[in-house]
Structure 1
């Protein structure tokens, strides 16, 4: 089954890859690796903002992280010249969580992205990962996640 067919089963249609918000490129392809710049939590209604431990729960953060996952896959598709089925595997994700100093559930938040990657991509979605706290993130978003992908 193609990746986009699996996404359709999950009720997800990939949006156009988000444009960068500053002086950088959204992805860099070198050899068989695609490095995707940090994707911030956003959906059709705009940015998903908030601070975990202050006005968002870990569950709210996981929803924001899933939105980042969808943007990562949109960038992956763009980096594969429109053929997302060139994905060999997700290599690594690095997640940043806008959280208070006493919030300790960053891994639960980033699970929103990790779980979606595995649900959508199967074994290709298994990856290494970091989940860290940030005092703030661009535009006040709740989550930002970058990724490294192996492609054919």
Structure 2
């Protein structure tokens, strides 16, 4: 009897975990940039943002003086979408005194609608504007959920 109740409690606990909040992570490391992003969204209606953080290093020498290493917080996540296996994250850094008004926009599009998976891939685009010359690159990104 006690074993049955313990098993039932374990199953109910696991069922609660299945409806837990969603946590995503994405990373890329290529000749253009290295970054990691981690975000968490509530599982209930609206999928409100719980947390967001990230770090980016731009490898191009002409851009690394300004955006050589950047840390992101929730205020930098300007757009997000997660639905049925598809993930979109847009990170915008408006710059400031330390960048001389130069801005950075990083967009990650990963997964495939209708094909939810624990690990999935996609693309990123990185745009830096406001300097002497616009900078735009694209690359592959790996993402997952935990």
Pair in the same fold by TM > 0.5: no
Please state which structure has a larger fraction of its residues in helix. 1
TM-score by length of 1: 0.29
Structure (1 or 2) with the larger CA radius of gyration: 2
